[in-house]
Amino acid sequence: MPDYNWPDAEHRTLIGKRISRVDSPVKVSGRAKYTYDYHGANMLFGKVLRSSYAKAKIVSIDTSAAEKLPGVKAVEIIQKAGSTVPWAGDEIVAVAAVDESTAEDAVRLITVKYDPMPYLVSDAEPPAGAGEAAGPMSQDDIDDAVSNQVPDVQLTKYLQELGVSFKVDDDFLKEMQGEGASEAVLAAIRQAPYHPATSGGHSNYQKTATQTSGDPDKAFAEADVVSEGLYGAPVIVHCCLEPHGSVSEWTDKDHLFTHISTQNVSGIAAQMAEPLGVSAANIRIHQDNIGGGFGSKFAADRWDIAAARLSKKAGGKPVRIMLERDSELKVAGARPSAYARVKMAAKKDGTITAWQSQSWGTGGPGGGGMPPIPYVFGIPNQHKEHVAIRNNIGPARAWRAPNHPQAALITMGALDDLAAKLNMDPLDLWLKNLEITGPRREVYREELAVAADLMGWKEKWRPRGQNISGNMARGLGLSIHTWGGRGHASDCDLTIHPDGSVDIKIGTQDIGTGTRTTIVIVAAETLGIPIEAINLYIGDTLYPPSGGSGGSTTPGGVSSSTRRAAVDAREALFAKVAPALNAQPADLECMNRTLRVKSDPSRSLDWKQACSKMGAMPITARGHNDQVASKNHPDLTNSGVGGVGMADVEVDIETGVVKVKKMVAVQDCGLIIDLKLAESSCYGALTMGIGYALFEEKIMDQATGRMLNPNMEFYRLAGLNDIPELVVHMMTGKGYDERGVIGLGEPPVISPGAAIANATANAIGTRVSFLPLTPDKVLAALSQKNMTQKAGA
Amino acid sequence: MQDYDPGKDEPKEKVDNSGVSRRDFLKISTISAAAVPILGTRVVQAAGQPVKVYGPGKVPVELTINGQKHTLQLEPRVTLLDALRDQLDITGAKRVCDRGECGSCTVLLDGRAVYACSVLAIEAQGKAITTVEALMQGETLHPIQQAFVDNDASQCGFCTPGFVVAFKAFLDQHPNASPEEIRRGLSGNLCRCGTYHGIQLAIAQMAQKGA
């Protein structure tokens, strides 16, 4: 059998080096085409009328005036009279017209009568005792759990215990499979007991977890030190710069061609097939580039289906619906909030003995699950309760490392407060308790040492509130995190042509993470040719299917399938060329554009000459990576990384402004394909982390039920001037490289918020409970601290 | 051509406000509303000054983009950004916030950086419009573009053309700017992937070149 294993360090000429992103030139020149840039011939412009109420029954819809407006070509009612809209901004009617302004005019001519209903858009702490016991899971509950990557073990347990409130059918299973549900979860859904939902009141508060392990009561009673605190992160949004949307056209009455902004090229057609009543095989999906997704673009959304239906009504003409900025922020994805009151117990020496938490949060109408707390640290005695708030803020979607940044903020914050109470340097507390962090503990130890060195932790760290000069308080904070990152299922076709050209076809997408670069590096390394010699085709259902880009699964998936395809194609080429070199195929190797005999490198052919020996027919090989590790021989990808984030902040205690001065990220991700791009992923994650730590929040208006800041002025992203010195260190070499390829999109974005929050507490001497760390919250925490001190004096 | 003094007599029909966008409103609120749709341009008196009035309805618009003249029929409410993207398929400038907050639509108007989402196409007539597409010399990247490539200053790439154009405008006007000054000069542009570190390195590379 050919040797698919990754080449070892001395045989790697491209893998692991710093190679520039292959699609940078096309991006910096403005030539890169995105879905929003596609303009089909005779294209119509679609616009959507959205609900202005947070919850309401639709009484009537009158589209007659819109239909009569010159230039309007089709009207599609998305939600009929009688439906209940669950959030402000929900889609009701879509129209298509010859130009955008006519479509906007038409939307304004539609009259919808609503019967407004009581709504909830708050995610404040539930009243004591609130929360009905969890009932059977609805389709929405399961959908929500799958898209938020609730661990399989947890979800299958819920399904067994709670049952389901609906009759499970194949369509639903298929849908969940499309969203990434594992075989274990699908089986659990199939086997879950059916409990029809009882009618009547549907509380906004649902107890989704009450878990006890060990003996927390005893541990708290015997503790030397008990620390308590309140921690939380609000709902934030994805704010992809390219909004969600698509352009659909019927090329004949049975065939749809859709350009769509998606992280899931190979998975979209199956989602559109049923609502449109055509087979998935008749739907072609295409995307060259995507302007950001971050977890929010896996689905064919309602507006995408509407665009395809409008196109059908308009005789097949292309119809474009791209969301306006306000809609993008209101309805196209949000990260669930998570808040917790935490109590921790420890021995004098810092050994953590117990955890207790009452947590709550919202992911919109589905409520959402408990984040994985305590995070990373497997504390022996635990008691946890979680209440999910089902409200009308809009839908949640996977947001880069679903649930982990919230879990890190809560857990690492509680640990940091415990360290303060113990008068310990947090770094020492973390090190002291690494034994309970599981299989990555030695990696954390190594990474913490590297990070501390890069931050100058030991020189700079002072106890809380003891590094203040004038108005300026300085502080350090840290956090650690984990993620899976195993490669997804992926097929790759690699063809070597008799003229020496090589092309690769793979139905993946490059969401800005460098997927194109990863694929060509692996192929070029395997074939011994330069990366420029490879023509890569991605982003189309014409190519072999490859998984959606979520959960850091793409690098492992595409690198494995590409490696296998390239090795097989290379072996086939060796077989054809061996006679010309008077050698056995097994004796051949290729490097530096040359195919040669291993034992006698003087017997060689350059790449082009070698390929000319294959005859008229090209060689095509398909490489496959299976999602299930045991089906890959050998397995070229792996799961499970650890990482460290450290922050150094300066807080102006007069104005409450927090400024990050330096951040350090130390991260492992197995065998790195491109060091330059791996570091970029970390720099980007630190930057996003600064954004959600200091600025970002989806602010809901309690009086109207609408989002107050659906724009880029008041939903603030970090800017160039918010970015301090960023230091990234990737763990490589022995112990890391031989693990195989592991994805990197999620892990480095997990710790920054927790590290910045902890650094702020270290600087000002008190905890600011909730992100974002805006001046009002910082000043309120400082004033609370002063009052407490005065009262104590 | 007719003179119309809004103080003297009321127009017989008012323009239906429901069909007027924010930008239309800004434009017409300083003058007045036209009574009947008339194609082409008229001049009216507003605050004692003669002001050109377009539309409503489509009017001929002539734009000079990257040195090339284009004649279009556009409603006066169409922005320069939408004219570029939807009428001419010049798509380097991106539509993101559509209200002058993010800089992704940055183009040059007579050499100065503007947000194309906040300029009406009719206002850009008679000016030299330069988009990111004009920055390359043949197949050679502009040094700013090369600095972005060298320092991996783009991920998804959607904000990148706006940054590159804003960068060029700033350097053209401040050829000896320090990295700190350039960074402030680019603070009107936003990125979501978090490419600022790469952009800072690109800034350092360009500042070194200029010095």
- Mark yes or no for CB contact A513/B155 under 8 Å: yes
> Which among B102, B145, B184 is the nearest to A721, CB-wise?
B184
Percent of chain A with pLDDT over 70: 98
What's residue B33's pLDDT? Answer: 41
Judgement on whether residues A627 and A765 belong to the same structural domain of the protein: no
Q: Which of A616, A631, A646 is the last residue of a domain?
A: A631
Shortest Cα distance from B152 to chain A (angstroms)? 7
What's residue B32's pLDDT? Answer: 43
What's residue A134's pLDDT? Answer: 66
* In a domain? residue A507: yes
Chain B residue at shortest CA distance from A325: B97
Judgement on whether residues A784 and A691 belong to the same structural domain of the protein: yes
| Intra-chain end-to-end CA distance of chain A, in Å | 78
Shortest Cα distance from B201 to chain A (angstroms)? 11
Q: Which of A322, A356, A371 is the last residue of a domain?
A: A322
Alpha-helical segments (H) within A33-90: 64-68
What's residue A147's pLDDT? Answer: 64
* In a domain? residue A533: yes
Q: Does A602 touch chain B (CB under 8 A)?
A: no
Q: Does A704 touch chain B (CB under 8 A)?
A: no
User: Position A285: which residue type?
Assistant: I
Does B81 have pLDDT greater than 90?
yes
Chain A residue at shortest CA distance from B188: A719
| Domains of chain B and any CATH numbers | 1-57 (no CATH), 59-132 (3.10.20.30), 143-210 (1.10.150.120)
What does the pLDDT average to over A364-372?
88
CATH code for position A313 = 3.90.1170.50
- Mark yes or no for CB contact A21/B152 under 8 Å: yes
For A138-155, the DSSP string reads PHHHHHHHHHTT--HHHH
pLDDT single digits (tens) A32-80 = 999 999 999 999 999 999 999 999 999 999 999 999 999 999 999 999 9
What's residue A495's pLDDT? Answer: 98
What's residue B8's pLDDT? Answer: 42
Judgement on whether residues A684 and A742 belong to the same structural domain of the protein: yes
* In a domain? residue A362: no
Q: Which of A599, A615, A631 is the last residue of a domain?
A: A631
Judgement on whether residues A783 and A660 belong to the same structural domain of the protein: yes
Burial class from Cβ neighbours inside 10 Å (0-12, 13-18, 19+) for residue A370 reads: buried
What does the pLDDT average to over A105-127?
96
- Mark yes or no for CB contact A292/B192 under 8 Å: yes
Percent of chain B with pLDDT over 90: 71
pLDDT single digits (tens) B145-187 = 999 999 999 999 999 999 999 999 999 999 999 999 999 999 9
More confident: B21 or A411:
A411
* CA gap A22, B149 in Å, rounded: 9
Q: pLDDT band at residue A197, thresholds of 50, 70 and 90?
A: low
Size of interface A-B (CB pairs under 8 A): 176
* CA gap A208, B36 in Å, rounded: 63
- Mark yes or no for CB contact B194/A242 under 8 Å: no
- Mark yes or no for CB contact A677/B183 under 8 Å: no
Judgement on whether residues A725 and A612 belong to the same structural domain of the protein: no
Query: Which two tokens mark A407?
Result: 């879990």
> Which among B19, B78, B160 is the nearest to A27, CB-wise?
B160
Percent of chain B with pLDDT over 70: 80
* In a domain? residue A127: no
What does the pLDDT average to over A279-286?
98
Query: Which two tokens mark A414?
Result: 């509680």
* CA gap B114, A49 in Å, rounded: 31
* In a domain? residue A379: no
Q: Which helix (H) or strand (E) holds B60?
A: strand B59-65
List all residues of chain B from 87 to 146 with a beta carbon under 8 Å from chain A. 89, 91-99, 101-102, 104, 131-133, 135-136, 141, 145
* In a domain? residue A397: no
What does the pLDDT average to over A636-653?
98
A111: β partners: A62
Shortest Cα distance from B46 to chain A (angstroms)? 27
- Mark yes or no for CB contact B150/A240 under 8 Å: no
Query: Which two tokens mark A247?
Result: 């352009």
Which chain B residues are within 8 Å of A720, Cβ to Cβ?
A: 183, 186-187, 189, 196, 199-200
CATH code for position A28 = 3.30.365.10
Does B19 have pLDDT greater than 50?
no
What's residue A751's pLDDT? Answer: 98
SS3 track for A607-663 = HHHHHHCCCCCCEEEEEEECCCHHHCCCCCECCCEEEEEEEEEEEECCCCCEEEEEE
What's residue A422's pLDDT? Answer: 98
Judgement on whether residues A771 and A715 belong to the same structural domain of the protein: yes
Give residues with Cβ within 8 angstroms of B148, minimum separation 6. A24, A28, B154, B160, B163, B164, B198, B199, B202
Does B42 have pLDDT greater than 90?
no
Q: Does A31 touch chain B (CB under 8 A)?
A: yes
ω into A336 cis (within 30 of 0)? no
Q: pLDDT band at residue A202, thresholds of 50, 70 and 90?
A: low
Chain A residue at shortest CA distance from B16: A105
Whole-number average pLDDT of chain A: 95
pLDDT single digits (tens) A521-576 = 999 999 999 999 999 999 999 999 999 999 999 999 999 999 999 999 999 999 99
What's residue B210's pLDDT? Answer: 60
Chain B residue at shortest CA distance from A37: B91
What's residue B21's pLDDT? Answer: 46
Judgement on whether residues A740 and A652 belong to the same structural domain of the protein: yes
What's residue B40's pLDDT? Answer: 60
Does B28 have pLDDT greater than 80?
no
Does A352 have pLDDT greater than 70?
yes
Does B22 have pLDDT greater than 50?
no
Judgement on whether residues A782 and A659 belong to the same structural domain of the protein: yes
Q: Does A39 touch chain B (CB under 8 A)?
A: yes
* In a domain? residue A752: yes
Shortest Cα distance from B160 to chain A (angstroms)? 6
What's residue A263's pLDDT? Answer: 98
> Which among A24, A25, A240 is the nearest to B192, CB-wise?
A240
Judgement on whether residues A683 and A752 belong to the same structural domain of the protein: yes
Closest CA to B122 of B91, B89, B87: B87
Shortest Cα distance from A381 to chain B (angstroms)? 39
- A545-582 per-residue burial string, b: 16 or more CB within 10 A, e: under 16: ebbbbbbbbbbbbbbbbbbbbbbbbbbbbbebbbeebe
Closest CA to A515 of A243, A157, A266: A266
Judgement on whether residues A68 and A82 belong to the same structural domain of the protein: yes
Do residues A618 and A644 touch, judged by C-beta distance below 8 A? no
Judgement on whether residues A292 and A187 belong to the same structural domain of the protein: no
Shortest Cα distance from B108 to chain A (angstroms)? 14
* In a domain? residue A195: yes
Q: Domain residues for A587?
A: 9-32+488-631
Q: Does A735 touch chain B (CB under 8 A)?
A: no
- Mark yes or no for CB contact A28/B145 under 8 Å: yes
What does the pLDDT average to over A77-91?
96
pLDDT single digits (tens) A249-273 = 999 999 999 999 999 999 999 999 9
pLDDT single digits (tens) A454-481 = 999 999 999 999 999 999 999 999 999 9
Q: Which of A58-67, A235-244, B37-46 has the lowest mean pLDDT?
A: B37-46
Chain A residue at shortest CA distance from B194: A684
Q: Please count the structural domains in chain A.
A: 4
Query: Which two tokens mark A90?
Result: 């929900």
> How much helix, strand and coil, in percent to the nearest 5, is found in chain B?
35, 20, 45
3-state secondary structure of A346: strand
**DSSP state letter for B84:** I
Judgement on whether residues A286 and A138 belong to the same structural domain of the protein: no
